[in-house]
Structure 1
Amino acid sequence: MSALIEVRDLAVTFGSRQSQVQAVQNVSFDVQQGESFGLVGESGSGKSTVLRAICGLAPTSAGTIKIDGKLLASPRDPAFYAQVQMVFQDPYGSIHPRHTIDRVLSEPLAIHGFKNAEDRIEKALNDVGLGGGFRFRFPHQLSGGQRQRVAIARALILEPQILLLDEPTSALDASIQAEVLNLLDALRIEKGLTYLLVSHDLAVVAHMCERLLVMQHGTRVEELTRTALQGRDATQKYTQQLLVASEGFKAP
């Protein structure tokens, strides 16, 4: 059976011929339906660029991306965004500061022609632990953790199969990070979602992901299971260095 997400020999190049930057080179991986798969590496490793390439927000210069066995169209069509949604790193920057939460959640429903907006908004807010009392608040009236819950609700409101999670807790206080990660874990199980998670934090990846791909300088280093990560059973020097550099990393 084919994977839900198939990335083969992906390359992303920015700039002109005179000043090209190869952000991603020859990266391949599969993500099975219902799985949570991690992309790990230092800043500049190309992991977030992979997510943006899947979404059509970064230019693919080589390779292929398939969702559910189908090559992605360029530009991405509305059906793609009904199936795949992204949660960005910064909850302060990803939500319009002058829009109520109701409007933030209504917009994707209007774009995709859903009629039952009231029910979907209420359900989405309940799913992320906020409730209907947050509908007509503005982002500045919410904490960072609450804003990220709204961002997750916005991603879920179209009932996608796949969430692309770009460092979803790195902008939050440490005390709030675990709450949001546990919420994401519970939602994946409850809704049968598939996650592709980008993080530099090995503890987050060990908590969230069954498998992970380590990246460096835009290239694939090695693929590990959660068990191998927890046992610090890495074969490549770069991965071993990441484990050593992750001060305080503990397998949950």
Structure 2
Amino acid sequence: MTAALSIRDMLVMYEDFAALNRVSLDVNFGESFGIVGESGSGKSTLLRATTGLASFQSGSLTVNGRSYSGRKRDKEFYRTVQMVFQDPYGSLHPRQTVDRLLLEPLTIHGFDNVDARIARALDEVGLGSGFRFRYSHQLSGGQRQRIAIARALIVEPKILLLDEPTSALDASIQAEILNLLEQARRDRNLTFVMVSHDLGVISHMCERLTVMKSGEAVETVPVEALEKRQLSAEYTRQLMVASEGFRRD
């Protein structure tokens, strides 16, 4: 069976530094796949190289059976693959209303019945029509991230790339956003690739995960392996201990 997303030996170089050093992974259709690791391990670079925001110098990228290289992506790619960024304050244009932010991708991809689609998108992320003509500076961080999710979902993608989608939000809002994403995945039969430094989030949202360190994939395991401590790499065990935090004896 063809994977929804397949990456083989992907190399991303910045001058003499290998931000990604021949990383390979496969994500199945309908799967929620996690990528974890410390800061600077290459997690976000992997997503950016997938979407064409960064160029990869060698290796291969296949999405739904179609191959892509370097930074070149076509309109069909962005109908299939959408990304939600970490920073809800930086990812929305400050001079555009919510209406304009949601209208733009619909126009680019030639959708009709745009008013109904915008209303439905806002409803799906738990925001009513009263938010439609607000500017992003009039919204809270959680509301902005809901708009960013609505913008990604409105073109009906098959694969959603999530770059730490809750790390900039208050803890009380994080669970709401994660539940919203999980509901959207079930309703739309989406494939998720979620980057996070938080093993708890990945354990809750994902079925399998790849652990990254210094631009390389250390190991790929099912989430159950974390719970059972069935891990082959010492680095993954150290990451688990660190994620459990300080415990008083």
TM-score bracket relative to the smaller structure? over 0.9
For the residues of structure 2 that align with 1:141 and 1:68, how far apart are their CA atoms?
38
TM-score by length of 1: 0.95
> Are residues 1:180 and 2:177 paired?
yes
1:97-108 equivalent positions in 2, closer than 5 A:
97-108=94-105
> Are residues 1:197 and 2:194 paired?
yes
1:1-252 equivalent positions in 2, closer than 5 A:
1-15=1-15, 20-72=16-68, 74-248=71-245
For the residues of structure 2 that align with 1:247 and 1:140, how far apart are their CA atoms?
35
1:127 partner amino acid: E
1:38 partner amino acid: G
2:173 partner amino acid: I
Q: SS where residue 85 of structure 1 aligns?
A: strand
TM-score by length of 2: 0.96
Q: SS where residue 244 of structure 2 aligns?
A: coil
Quote how far apart the aligned CAs of 1:111 are. 1.4
1:200 partner amino acid: H
Quote how far apart the aligned CAs of 1:232 are. 2.6
Quote how far apart the aligned CAs of 1:140 are. 1.6
Contact 1:14 1:59 in 2 (8 A): no
Q: Percent identity?
A: 61
1:84 partner amino acid: V
2:4 partner amino acid: L
Q: CA RMSD in A?
A: 1.2
For the residues of structure 2 that align with 1:192 and 1:210, how far apart are their CA atoms?
14
For the residues of structure 1 that align with 2:50 and 2:57, how far apart are their CA atoms?
12
- What count of residue pairs does the alignment treat as equivalent? 245
Quote how far apart the aligned CAs of 1:248 are. 4.7
Q: SS where residue 227 of structure 1 aligns?
A: helix
Gaps of 5+ in 1: none
Q: SS where residue 242 of structure 1 aligns?
A: helix
Structure 1 residues 131 and 248: alpha-carbon distance in aligned structure 2, compared to 1, 3 A threshold: farther
For the residues of structure 2 that align with 1:189 and 1:70, how far apart are their CA atoms?
25
For the residues of structure 2 that align with 1:72 and 1:116, how far apart are their CA atoms?
31
Q: Deviations over 1:47-85 (max 9, x none)?
A: 110100110111111110000111025510011111100
Q: Which runs of 4+ in 1 moved over 4 A?
A: none
For the residues of structure 2 that align with 1:3 and 1:36, how far apart are their CA atoms?
13
Gaps of 5+ in 2: none
Q: SS where residue 154 of structure 1 aligns?
A: helix
Contact 1:36 1:209 in 2 (8 A): yes
